[in-house]
Every structure is written in C-alpha cells, then in structure tokens.
Amino acid sequence: MSHETILILDFGSQVTQLIARRVREANVYCEIVSCATPLAAIAARKPKGIILSGGPASVYAPGAPQVDPGLYRLGVPVLGICYGMQATSHACGGQVVRADQREFGRTELRVLGNDPLFADLPPRQVVWMSHGDRIESLPGSTTIATSDNCPLAAVRAPALNFHGVQFHPEVAHTQHGAAIVRNFLYRVCGCRGDWQMGDFIREEIERLRAQVGDGHVILGLSGGVDSSVAAVLLHRAIGKQLTCIFVNNGVLRQGEADGVRELFAEHIGINLDYVDASDRFLTKLAGAEDPEKKRKIIGAEFVAVFKDEALRIKREHGGHVRFLAQGTLYPDVIESVSVHGGPASVIKSHHNVGGLPADLGLGLVEPFRFLFKDEVRAIGSQLGLPDAVVWRQPFPGPGLAVRILGEVTAAKVKLLQAADAIVREEIDRAGLTRAIWQAFAVLLPVKSVGVMGDERTYENACAVRAVTSTDGMTADWAQLSYELLGRISNRIINEVRGINRVVYDITSKPPGTIEWE
C-alpha cells in the first residue's frame, strides 16, 4: 500500500530532519530528498505536498541552490521555510534582501487575517527565527503574519500554491510549530493521516515475506534497540527462517549476554546463535593500551567472528541463506546536501555494522531504512518488547574496552561490570533512565589510598559519567542530586572490592567526549 507522501526538499539546514519528524508525528509519511532532485522525479512521486527546508546559503551567493519554478505548477501545495521561502521569492520574480539586523532567536509573531496555516492558533505567538536574509516581496502574495524585524514573516501566494514562513515551525522553540505543520498537512494539502505504526508493522511484514521468499536471513543482534526490534519484526514475518548471531566479545555489561539469551531465545523463541568469543577478544586485546588500537582490534575481531559464524550457518542451511538483516535507520541513509559546493550531494555510508564483509554474498534486508529512532521504539513497544530494551541507553560497539583506561584484562572487566551495574541500577531506581542519555562507570588507571575499617587500602579509582543529550553530538553532564551521587559512591565502595574511590565527571561535550576513550 502506498501512503500519502510529503516530500521535503533539503537545502542543507541543520534541522531538516526535524521537519520530517514533525510531519511523521502528525501521521503523514514523508521523505527527505536533495534540493537538486529533478522536477520529473518529484512529480513522479505524486506528493500530497512539498516542503522546502531552510539552508545556510544566501540565494544570491554563487552556486546557491535554487528552485525550479516549474515546482509551483505541479498543482501541489508548497511550504517554504526560511531559505525555502527566500528561494521561492528569488525564483518567482520577488526580492530577497539582506536584513538590517540578523534575526536569531525567539520573536513575537503577529498573525494577520485567517489563513488556514494559522487556523485555531492565537493571533500572537512566539516563533524561532534564524536568518540573515529575508524576502521583501513575492508577486501575487499576501502577508499572513508579521514580526518587528520581518514585515513578511509569513506569506501566501495562491497562484503558486505556496505558503512561506520566515521562521522555523519545526523547532521546539516555536510555540505552535507542530500545529502549524499540521495545519499545512491537513488544511492546505488535504492529508488524511494514514501513517500509523500499526499499519507499518502489517505492511512491512508482508514486504519482508515477499523480499525473503523461502530464503534464510542472518541478523547481527547486539542487544541495542535497532537490532532487537529488527529481530522481533523479522521473527514475526519469517519465524525460523531467521537466525540471529549474538557475539559475546568479553567487554559487555554485567548480565547483558544472559539477558539477551533469555529474552530472545527462551522467551520469544528466536533462533539465536550465541557465540561466546570472550577469550578470543581478550587474548587479542592483551597488551593494547591505545584507544584507537583497542577499537580496531575489537572491530576486526567482530567481523572475523561474525563471518565465521555466518559461513557456518550458510553451510548448515545449504543455499538458502541469502540475506543479511540490519537495523539501519533513516538518518544514516538520508543524502546530505553540500551547501556551499552547490546542490551536489554525498551519500553517507549506511552499513552500520562497520565493515561486514561484502564477500558473504548476502543481500541486505533493512526494515527501518526509512524510519527514525523513536518510530523504531514505538514499533518495539507494539511488538511487546520490554521497556528495558526499547529505552536502552546507547552502548558503544567496543563496549567496556573504551571505559577501561589502558590495558583491558578479564579482572578489570569484572570490576568495571560490577561498578557499572550499580550506576545503572541507581539511575533506574531514581526513574532517570529515559531522562539521561547515558550513565555508566569508567575504570581509571589510578590507584589511591583509602581507609576502610581500621585498614589502609590502596585500590582503583572509578569515575561516574552521566550525561543528557538529544543525539550524542553534544551533551551536558547531568546534574544528579548529591543524594543520588552519594548512594552510587557508597554502594560502589562498599560492594565492589577493588575500588576505594569514586569521582563524578563534570565535563560537557564539547570540549569532552561522552566516552573517556
């Protein structure tokens, strides 16, 4: 079944993905395409509406991306946001000027008249502006909202089927942004809202069955959200034609390997190939102190183990093993627009299981290629996965190896696992698991003197790291209460033999990184 589709033409804004999020939240399917997509390809998709994103360029700059004026003759409503509005004005005989004052931040918008874009919204509302240029005129348009620095803060040009807004409805700082996007979808484009996760699950199961046929699929299960939900969805679709490979690399968190086996193999009944390669990894890691070297060892070893297993399963199932499934997400496959070099686009590498060998000769199955993380979480919940999996915090591929500073040994892994389990347990108990991006312990290559009872101790120090973030790109250290920090510290020192000092990391990113290595 094909869904009503909104196409978002990306002019290189940092927040284009947020537009897509707002549209999907309003139950309308959308895709982000490069602003250089030919008109014929856009028309062929039969979109219900088109949104032109913002972008960092000035429309007059050499090589700045432009809009084909034919876009406004497709008979499809167009919404231009910021640069998208300026590019429209430039393409349709209007004027774009450099604003006397760069406008950045919260601004009061005054709505004029009763355009459907602002239906049921207050006449004065706070919006988020971020622009140096603004439009001075657009032939055939009426102004539907204004602000102090921006007389044409929102316009409508009926002959062009166009609405334009100088502010950014997609960002959270715009008070009624989500409602404005909704109004565009439902009142201007006439969408009905046929994008629901329940429908997606049903349709994707059909699609997966058709793609896989009687073939067998291998999936690398890490225990993270994406691969876990992919495993359960594929299991619904093809049952025993799926085999998941779970590699214990010896640097997992406490209880992780058992948890995955219990849930997926015993409870859900998925074919699970559990490979305990701890010794193999730890032997290879012996003597390695440099973080990058440790990462490379683990990456290469993972590929080697996975390949061995995949080939073994291939032999076991004869010629039937034909696919490798991955939980690749939409943000990994969206073409990124290079703004200053014109509308050339670069396709990001989308093989998130870094460097899995092409010579396995398997086709790819990527059920979430067009989904965002929170959509995958919603699917996981609908498929009955527990919150602990659906809301699991990110955990790096190289695992505890990048949280044990210096050389990794089995004894250090055990020590860190115990301390880390306490941190996570206390964060969970305090109800902070979802509010905090990541919380964990780091084993430092430092020993210090302490006193326990009447005895002097000389043991390891560990750092506790907890950060808030929305995407892991930037992060703030979490302002955990003293009480919670005290509990974590007391428990680690009392319960983990070998650690006698706990410190709290109060470094944000930047300048720090989330992991210590």
Binding residues for ligand XMP (CB under 6 A):
295, 394, 396-398, 438, 472, 509, 513-515
CB nearer to ligand XMP: pick between 193 and 299: 299
Distance CA 483, CA 465 (A): 16
For the chain, what percentages of helix, strand and coil (3-state, to nearest 5) are there? 35, 25, 35
Residue nearer to ligand XMP on the CB measure, 140 or 397? 397
Choose, from 3, 90, 131, 168, the residue flagged as catalytic: 168
The three-class DSSP label of residue 178 is: helix
* 168 is an active site residue: yes
φ and ψ at 304, to 5 degrees?
-65, -45
Residue of 4, 170, 256, 426 with catalytic role: 170
Distance CA 5, CA 271 (A): 37
**Residue 14 or residue 137: which is nearer to ligand XMP going by CB?**
14
Closer by beta carbon to ligand XMP, 168 or else 284: 284
According to DSSP, the residues that pair with 321 across neighbouring strands are: 216
CB of 85 to ligand XMP, least distance (A): 34
CB 117 within 8 A of CB 154: yes
The residue type found at 122 is: P
288 residue type, one letter: A
3-state secondary structure of 415: helix
- Closest approach, Cβ 242 to ligand XMP, in A, equals 23
Q: Between residues 143 and 393, which has the closer beta carbon with respect to ligand XMP? A: 393
Q: Smallest gap, in angstroms, from Cβ of residue 119 to ligand XMP?
A: 41
- What whole-number distance in Å separates Cα of residue 332 and Cα of residue 134? 32
Residue 130 tokens, joined? 């971020």
Q: Residue 510 has which token pair?
A: 């930047």
Cα(21)–Cα(41) distance, rounded to whole angstroms?
Answer: 23
**What's the min distance (Å) between Cβ of 220 and ligand XMP?**
12
Whether 82 is a known active-site residue: answer: yes
Main-chain dihedrals φ then ψ at residue 429, nearest 5 degrees: -60, -35
The DSSP 8-state label assigned to residue 478 in this structure reads: -
In the block, which residue shows the tokens 């109800």? 431
Q: Rounded to the nearest whole angstrom, what is the least distance from the CB of residue 296 to ligand XMP in the complex?
A: 10
Name which of 396 and 450 has its Cβ closer to ligand XMP: 396
**Burial letters 260-271, b for 16+ CB under 10 A, else e:** beebbbeebebb
For residue 231 the two structure tokens come to: 């495993």
Residue of 4, 30, 35, 82 marked active site = 82
Phi and psi at residue 409, in whole multiples of 5°?
-130, 160
Minimum distance from residue 514 beta carbon to ligand XMP (Å): 3
**Least Å distance between CB 353 and ligand XMP?**
10
Q: Choose between 93 and 394: whose C-beta lies nearer to ligand XMP.
A: 394
Cα 58 to Cα 86: distance, rounded to the nearest angstrom: 9
Active site residues: 82, 168, 170
